[in-house]
Amino acid sequence: MIKKTGLILLLFLCSCSVSKPVIDNSLIIARHPKPIKVFGIGNWKPGYSVLTLIDADNQYFVITTKQIDTLKKGAIYIK
């Protein structure tokens, strides 16, 4: 019984440590046709924003970035 519990615990801990790829904003932006406009700006944590962007094909997507105080809704997003 103890061996079985230990094995299950080991499998559980190994499954939690699986690395995931980091999402790069520049790769996401490169996949969308230009121009890209800012549709919405939200606060995520101090110093960071969540941007909802819309590309030339009217496809919406979201990125997180450092806060840009001069960025306004409807502006063209240039990275």
Read off the pLDDT of residues 57-73 as tens digits, 9 standing for 90 and up. Answer: 999 999 999 999 999 99
Give pLDDT, residue 1: 54
pTM confidence score? 0.70
Residue-wise pLDDT for 3-44, tens only, equals 677 777 776 666 665 565 667 899 999 999 999 999 999 998
**What topology does CATH give the domain 21-79?**
OB fold (Dihydrolipoamide Acetyltransferase, E2P) (2.40.50)
For the chain, the helix, strand and coil percentages under 3-state DSSP, each to the nearest 5? 25, 30, 45
Give pLDDT, residue 18: 57
**E-strand spans in the chain?**
37-43, 48-54, 60-66
Helix (H, G, I), strand (E, B) or coil at 68: coil
Residue 47 has pLDDT above 60, yes or no: yes
